[in-house]
Structure 1
């Protein structure tokens, strides 16, 4: 029996409206290391988007190396594998390969080819239990960039399907050759993927549609039934797609307001000696709160300060522990000066406002009769535009200002 810890979408170096996420990342990664040690896992798989940027900061890179050190100390025999996602600098994950190998860490940035044919050897590694027995093999495949895909396919989906077919076939040949010398049977195969698989639920505003060629997603059927487990990255919601053994572990922390209610964590995968696979989601506790204020609907300016007081925030908390707050404000007239009013109220509280939506009452008016522009008076156009923008009619002062500007023009 072997145990895997599947994680992805760390996005180290990410910020939220300019605020650092390092404290959240460190807290989440500390929990990841603790879970890996407690469960005595035999492999840790990071399925892409290790970094948030193609040019990660020194702090982000240091956090990766600190985490790899802690994982190696917590799980001395475990296979550790990183693959590049669409956010990652593939070359930077490939370049330190010799140093990573000294710590028994796989780091894969691109598909390897030899004489134009996929070469499974750099991507393939045995996963051994604590007694050193091979319990499975890992085929670590990164996000497939255009240069990684075979030519001559009719579509991007077809090219990804063919790339995975070639990779799995090559891996099976390598495993068969390796096992002919005395290993027992054909061990289960675990494959990684940093892709949008059809049927997976997206997080609005957080995930790019990344498949090359203008197509959106690949079907789960590209992963053949003889693959024991597919460790996916890219979508931030923990979920299985197509079948229980094709799974997104989800991101470490919320990356947008649409992810506030996700149970972020890692997937623990157990493959028994008969090849049966069991998957469990191990959630994290959140070190920094992410709040919608209000939870539903919207607040008027007059209601904002009492609502923030009701959050009962601790003014002695260090700033890195202040909650991130997403506001919804209801206005019924012009919004001139609204942001300044909101800022003045929020500055009284230990919180970090990272988004604000403005909601207006919906006006139900009959559709206007189409007219040619030459038949319209400028002041009428101004009045209609003002009402559509602010939800109320312009005052005499607004109309007077418009008439002066019109005269000057």
Structure 2
């Protein structure tokens, strides 16, 4: 296949939208709408030739009507902003692959390519579903996109008995080798962009936010599954924008923070430019957050008595609408019993325009007593057992009042 040499192809790489997600019951839709509006505007201003969404478009396998509507609204706005651009949606491990496949005919009317599963015809990879030309504004083809979604177990070739190491990683490597070889047989040496919704070894995970997704316990594939002649590899799954292996194998990261561990990330998209010779450069573009995510304090814990002062120091507008109020992740230090602690903190937070979404309670470290020979229960005094259980639960010894209450109950029993 002949390729018309163009000066540069420009694409926008995004992933991990997680539409429909909630945080402690609070909808993330206002944040998503604001971030997606920035994505559309970036695509328009930078005059991109392609937009690649590398999986986890939705947060669940059964997305709400609101989440689906937000996707369709965004695709409509992208098409209006970039009339000639190739737009590709790839299923991730969170996505309902069938729901991305079902409207394919309607998507194609709008020039949107949706790939939910690995398609085969007579046993071979169906390139008509996976290989897409990327054209510039004049219509000239400047690169090709090999669009592969999250590989499920049924998509992977079965390893033989002679395979060493993880059969799953072997299967992923074989799948990509087959796909690239088939694409190269059709497009020759033209610049090739690959996609993947995988955990690639060397990538930094976000604690509590990402599932380890490859089957069989081997959740990370090595970056050398992607051939060195690939111009760019657009990855999804990990939420931190980062490169893995080399500059042109990258995660664009999530659009918004999905957990407390992601507050410090520069969430946004990646702008990629590919020259006619196939050389690629990548530029992460951070978005402005429409809702603040705050850890109080930034390091260490607060005493309960310090919470109100810390919230007051934020100087937040009390008229802030609910959907724009900052999400607060609070760390507190407790030296005694914590009965009623959550209610006490909730009462303080209700005085301010914030949304408390996580509470970490830190207690002083206990000095372990030397190990003694175990005693039989009959040799123990109930009062001593109560004292030890109280200290193990609350991190401090019971007060005289606690002991008096216990003695009274013991007498009544």
Normalised-by-shorter TM-score class: over 0.9
Q: How far apart are residue 395 of structure 1 and its match?
A: 2.7
| Counterparts of residues 16-165 of structure 1 (less than 5 Å) | 16-153=23-160, 154=163, 155-165=167-177
In the other structure, the counterpart of 1:206 is 209
Q: Secondary structure at the match of 1:261?
A: coil
Q: State the aligned residue count.
A: 400
In the other structure, the counterpart of 1:241 is 244
Tell me, yes or no, if structure 1 residue 187 matches structure 2 residue 190.
yes
Q: How many angstroms apart in 1 are the aligned matches of 2:24 and 2:342? A: 15
Q: What value does the CA root-mean-square deviation take over the aligned residues?
A: 1.5
Tell me, yes or no, if structure 1 residue 258 matches structure 2 residue 261.
yes
Q: Is the 8 A contact 2:191 2:277 kept in 1?
A: no
Deviates more, 1:309-318 or 1:111-120: 111-120
Q: 2:277 aligns with which of 263, 274, 277?
A: 274
TM-score (norm 1): 0.95
Deviates more, 1:212-221 or 1:54-63: 212-221
Q: Secondary structure at the match of 1:381?
A: helix
In the other structure, the counterpart of 1:171 is 183
> Unpaired runs of 5+ in structure 2?
1-7
Per-residue CA deviation, residues 174-218 of structure 1 (Å, 9 max, x unaligned), is 324xxxxxxxxx311101000000000011010011111111200
Q: Is the 8 A contact 1:300 1:331 kept in 2?
A: yes
Q: How many angstroms apart in 2 are the aligned matches of 1:405 and 1:115? A: 77
Q: How many angstroms apart in 1 are the aligned matches of 2:232 and 2:199? A: 16
Q: How many angstroms apart in 2 are the aligned matches of 1:76 and 1:165? A: 33
Q: Secondary structure at the match of 1:164?
A: helix
In the other structure, the counterpart of 1:310 is 313
Q: Secondary structure at the match of 2:248?
A: strand
| Counterparts of residues 351-366 of structure 1 (less than 5 Å) | 351-366=354-369
**CA separation of 1:304/1:372 partners in 2, compared to 1, >3 Å: closer, same or farther?**
same
Q: Secondary structure at the match of 1:193?
A: strand
Q: 2:324 aligns with which of 321, 334, 337?
A: 321
Q: Secondary structure at the match of 1:136?
A: strand
Q: Is the 8 A contact 1:290 1:324 kept in 2?
A: yes
Tell me, yes or no, if structure 1 residue 394 matches structure 2 residue 398.
yes
**CA separation of 1:376/1:61 partners in 2, compared to 1, >3 Å: closer, same or farther?**
same
TM-score (norm 2): 0.94
Deviates more, 1:399-408 or 1:136-145: 399-408
Tell me, yes or no, if structure 1 residue 383 matches structure 2 residue 395.
no
Q: Secondary structure at the match of 2:282?
A: strand
| Counterparts of residues 218-229 of structure 1 (less than 5 Å) | 218-229=221-232
